[in-house]
A and B are shown apart, each in its own frame.
Chain A
């Protein structure tokens, strides 16, 4: 199993802080990278799907970048709010589109 690593494992920030997390993955046979947001007691929800090196996606205060050559993606949250508290998962898809490996997630706590 190819490892997808996420760091940090957890993060505590104050409301209004900007923050970022890292997803590292093997760069060979890369096909796509997904980011999901998982709130407690709810289903994981898709944030972004990224495929191209240098891709940058944005949804409101959340954005993500992708570097397929060196095998990493960053997720940024600008001006964190308590409702951003969740686990953020990344998932790497291998060439062919079938094999998807999830990271263990970054657990974000935003204090009001």
Chain B
């Protein structure tokens, strides 16, 4: 069974804290993604990565950074959490073979509340 695992399901952090959201996939996928889900909006892409140490900005990268030191792991970092970053964060991965037509596999999400 393919798996994308997000280590933290529910977090409550204070404004200004540095927050790490970790994601691991076991499918040897080249591509990894971080999305944000807010009510009434589609999944919005924050950052993605095509390879180890590679990263590309998505549609809403402001206030976030990422790290991909190993192929299976992709971390989302909130350098200084703010209340408008309260949201549900989804990690995902996909194969680069036949890009765009490949299924995206998602984690179960991390619910972050910033107070």
Per the bound structure, the CA–CA distance linking A49 and B99 in Å amounts to: 12
Q: Tell me, rounded to whole Å, the shortest Cβ–Cβ distance linking A53 to chain B.
A: 15
B108 pairs with A49, CB closer than 8 A: no
Asked if A59 CB lies within 8 Å of chain B CBs, one says: no
User: What B residues does A98 contact at CB under 8 A?
Assistant: 99-100
From 85 to 112 in chain A, residues with beta carbon under 8 angstroms from any chain B beta carbon are 89, 91, 93-94, 96-98, 100-105
When the two chains form the complex, which single residue of A32, A96, A97, A101 contacts B42, counting CB atoms closer than 8 Å? A101
Task: Give the size range of A's interface with the partner.
Answer: 20 to 34
B2-46: CB near A (< 8 Å → 1, else 0) gives 001000000000000000000000000000000100001111110
How long is the Cα–Cα vector from A1 to B46 in the complex, in angstroms?
Answer: 13
CB contacts (< 8 Å) of B108 on chain A: these are: 41-43
Interface positions of A (Cβ within 8 A of B):
1, 4, 9, 31-32, 34, 36, 41-46, 49, 51, 89, 91, 93-94, 96-98, 100-105
